[in-house]
Chain A
């Protein structure tokens, strides 16, 4: 889509290639702390990209994406623990569960004309009652948590996703790359054009022949299916699932911060946002320790102020401005 998608020019492509090499080589140099931070960044880059499909492209605000992380994680973990079915098969069950939930939410909202903040409330409601349901589901450990057998770290068992952080790092990196490729392709198809049209003005889109119901449903289904993979990863990486944690609305907010800070509706925004947020959080912690300030809550205050600054001074997120500044996009228009 003519530069609107931030198609990179040659300089941008060169930077991207360099970044890819650096990311591929990272585990060779990084210590375990850096690697764990990198995995978290990639995790949020991926979930942010998935969420961005719904909000950034199609304009449907979900504040309950933790629902899909939790459902995906529990589905794959349950199959693994109770039936010995490996994650590569379990991932399909995870996707199916998330697609069903996403489709039900979409159907309810879009058939009955629930939009904007009311749609957002609906997504929160689903995440919340699913959390409460899992809190009481003994088969899955209820509120006491559901645990996978702790990983052995001697060798990497990719088939069962048991192994070293390096393996998880590369897995997450592959997911981020795949999500990026998928979104960038989607935006160049009719689907992408129709999503953006719906985001900009649903009534005008409909008058131009866009079946808004179908394309909004498609956005929800793709977004929830993508997010379910993050859930499977989460379960097998951390080896434990607590309803109170995975379905928590705080998790949903974490997912959406990256794309908003990085640049809503852009392909690089979610990735950049995830990196900025993680570096910011750790950077503030380090800076405060260095300065010897140890007031409870001061980290959160600084973190909040930084986010406030981005929202106030870069209302379209960091990426559009950064891209223009670096001169890496073929076209420097907004997003």
Chain B
């Protein structure tokens, strides 16, 4: 329990009358890749927003390596070691691809030259290096998704939150992205929590899966167990598994 990198403890969030997230608890162990799945509107992105400080939880708390991060601002949570991507990508449209990533890298160093070097290496890794000088506004959607990942990685997170970064990618691109995360996980021990509908990616990457439905956690376990869980089949995986 104490060894968990991320502990989400009985977190709840209401929007007016709607229960978006109800009493959700789970943990992510260091070095693991964990998936958060569930139907649209299940509350997955809200959980991310609660972890990253974009939203304030009504109750419950989130801890990073034992330290409470609930109540901190998003920039403080980023500095503490949580990097995130946005499902609806948010590139700095008027800045170059490289400068987008430099902004992320500057959280670890005030020196722009150093940040640029790091940003370039990350763009290299994600296959965006040749596009580094174009304005982010001109990127295609798959490239914007990769830019989201690159920027988040530039903040040198201990925990990376990925919100549907595979959506809209072609299968070959998905495989490339999966490979990038596998390498980061293997080489640097990067811990990843991902929201994903692309089951191919979920099954290939995750060691553990949590399933959200109507804001509640309805199942948690190893991928091979989750895909056979009757409750999960009914609310989410039904058609695919049938």
Contacts and interface: CB of A to CB of B under 8 A. Distances in A.
Contacts of B155: 208-209
A200 interface: yes
A196 B78 contact: no
Contacts of B107: 208-210
B103 A194 contact: yes
A333 B96 contact: yes
B103 A207 contact: no
A211 B73 contact: yes
Contacts of B99: 1-2, 4, 193, 196
Given A208-B151, A209-B75, A200 B133 contact: no
Interface stretch (B84-92, B184-192, B199-207): B84-92
Contacts of A211: 73, 75
Interface in B95-125: 95-96, 98-99, 102-104, 106-107, 110, 112, 115
Contacts of A265: 94
A194 B106 contact: yes
Given A204-B92, A206-B73, A190 B104 contact: no
Question: Binding site of A, secondary structure by majority: helix, strand, loop or mixed?
Answer: loop
B127 interface: no
Contacts of A197: 92, 95, 103
A335 B134 CA distance: 12
B151 A4 contact: no
A334 interface: yes
Contacts of A188: 112
Interface residues of B, number: 33
A331 interface: yes
B54 interface: yes
Interface string A173-191: 0000000000000001110
B126 to A, nearest CB: 16
B133 A3 contact: yes
A200 B94 contact: yes
Contacts of A286: none
A205 B91 CA distance: 10
Given A2-B96, A334-B135, A205 B103 contact: yes
A209 B73 CA distance: 9
A193 B94 CA distance: 12
Contacts of B84: 207
A201 B94 CA distance: 10
A138 interface: no
Interface in B144-165: 151-152, 154-155
A194 B102 CA distance: 10
B86 A204 contact: yes
B46 interface: no
A4 B112 CA distance: 14
B93 A200 contact: yes
20 contacts: A1-B112, A2-B133, A4-B95, A4-B99, A188-B112, A190-B106, A193-B106, A196-B92, A196-B95, A196-B99, A196-B103, A200-B92, A201-B90, A205-B103, A206-B74, A207-B54, A207-B75, A208-B78, A208-B154, A209-B155
Interface of A: 1-4, 188-190, 193-194, 196-197, 199-201, 203-212, 265, 331, 333-335
Interface of B: 52, 54, 73-75, 78-79, 84, 86, 90-96, 98-99, 102-104, 106-107, 110, 112, 115, 133-135, 151-152, 154-155
